[in-house]
Structure 1
Amino acid sequence: MTEDPVSEELAVSLAHMMRHLFAQGLVESTLDRVATYAVSTVEECEEASILMLGRGRQLTTLTSTSWWGQESDRLQTELGEGPCLDAIEDQQETYRTPDMANSEHRWPRYAPRASKLGIGSAMGFLLFNEQETFGALNLYSSQPHAFTERSERVGWVFASHAAVAFASARNDAQLHEAIETRQEIGEALGIAMERYKLSEQRAFEVLKRLSQNNNVKLRDIARQIVETGEISGDGNG
């Protein structure tokens, strides 16, 4: 049985991508890498972007290799239609637009505007795991009919790996934030215990009361105490 050199090349590329993505650490750096690797990995892909859908059907571009992605997202939010909105809202794993100017009728207002931007064809892939959808990876070409079924398969495999890296980076960031918050609360408790000669339990009640009275999150109260060394407000009442 002969080996497929294209499949072998893709496997090597994905292996390098995952190694680099997991090394990024920061969510922002991971997303930048995902978009960059998409352009270099998927045949005929010229530009890439990653977006999220927020409240009010507002699309937020998390990263983009050019202004195409940013403007495409803005147009879809403005017009209330487009491939990214459909993909995310309908949980459609993939979409492919062969010819934005001449054969795309699903989005009668978006497609002509996208064509004027220079987008000839596009593909999109949901970034998700079993628990949630993170957003969508969008790939663009200036040429119509640039993406084939093979391009779509490669893009889907790529997006699946990228979603794992995205989730890992985000979870890692959340873990670090949780650790930092716990450390800050611990330091703030120490300051309150010293200031008021309180037990740890009573000091925690002081911080909670300050949080409730000022309508501020406990972690923000703790950070303020750690940074200033002062406890504002009457939390010992």
Structure 2
Amino acid sequence: LAEMARDLLAQDTVQGTLDRVVEHATVLINGCDDAGILTVRRGEVRPLAATSDVVRRADRIQQDLREGPCFDAVTDRQQIYTIEDLNRPHERWSHFAPELRRLGMGSVMGFLLFTEDDELGALNLYSRRPRTFDEAAQRAGWILASHAAVAFSAARTHQQLGDALETRHEIGEAMGILMER
């Protein structure tokens, strides 16, 4: 985890940070085949990072159906949701679970990421096998999600400060031109 934290801090962009978080998830979380990060603002899902097209399709399915563990983690502000076995009928996500199974997934976990007051995110972990994510994987996922939220916030702040400095420089140049006239 220490190596991951250093790697995340070394990224130059928000996107680079998020891409590295999902890559680390597939290495650090036992049984995790794919991972993604999405945000939900005013009910709209916005995918931010994904390790595969399957994850991008899963994000679209959650947006279209407005259901799924990751969508609900954000909208209900729950720390973690799981579907242990996508082969079995699932009462809460009766439409989402079969769609994800058709994509070849066997289980999924969604972890809440606090990103801003009006925008919440989720770290989504997918396994092709059912009943893959045990208690240790859930704990590791929650720790990773906590690191991801901090790294996401720090990267966003760093980018905003860089943008502000660039804007300040442009305003200074414009003022210089105006003063010269």
Match for 1:168 among 141, 150, 154? 154
Cross-structure match for 1:25: 12
Amino acid at match of 1:95: Y
Which amino acid in structure 2 is aligned with residue 52 of structure 1? Answer: T
Matching residue's letter, 1:151: A
* CA separation of 1:135 and 1:72: change in aligned 2, threshold 3 A: same
CA shift digits 1:70-111 (9 cap, x unpaired):
101111111122112211011111111101120422111111
1:29 aligned partner, one-letter code: G
| Structure in which a larger fraction of residues adopt helix | 1
1:156 matched residue in structure 2: 142
Match of 2:33 among 46, 51, 59: 46
Q: Secondary structure of the residue that 1:111 maps to in structure 2?
A: helix
Q: CA RMSD in A?
A: 1.5
1:81 counterpart residue number: 67
* Shift, 1:129, TM fit: 6.1
8 Å contact from structure 1 (residues 61, 69) kept in 2: no
Unaligned runs of 5+ in 2: none
In 2, are the aligned partners of 1:126 and 1:133 still within 8 Å (CA)? no
**8 Å contact from structure 2 (residues 74, 120) kept in 1:** no
Q: Secondary structure at the match of 1:140?
A: strand
Q: Considering fraction of residues, name the structure with more strand.
A: 2
8 Å CA contact 1:99–1:144 kept in 2: the answer is yes
Q: Which residue of 2 aligns with 1:180?
A: 166
Residue of structure 2 equivalent to 1:102: 88
Amino acid corresponding to residue 66 of structure 1 in structure 2: S
Whichever of the two has the greater Rg, that structure is 1
**SS of the counterpart of 1:50?**
strand
Alignment size in residue pairs: 181
Give distance in 2, aligned partners of 1:129 and 1:107: 25
1:67 and 2:53 matched: yes
Aligned-partner SS, 1:177: helix
Relative CO higher for 1 or 2, CA cutoff 8 Å, sep ≥ 6? 2
Matches within 5 A, 1:1-40: 14-40=1-27
TM-score (norm 1): 0.73
Q: Answer whether contact 1:127 1:133 (CA < 8 A) is retained.
A: no
Unaligned runs of 5+ in 1: 1-13, 196-237
Q: Report deviation, 1:147.
A: 0.4
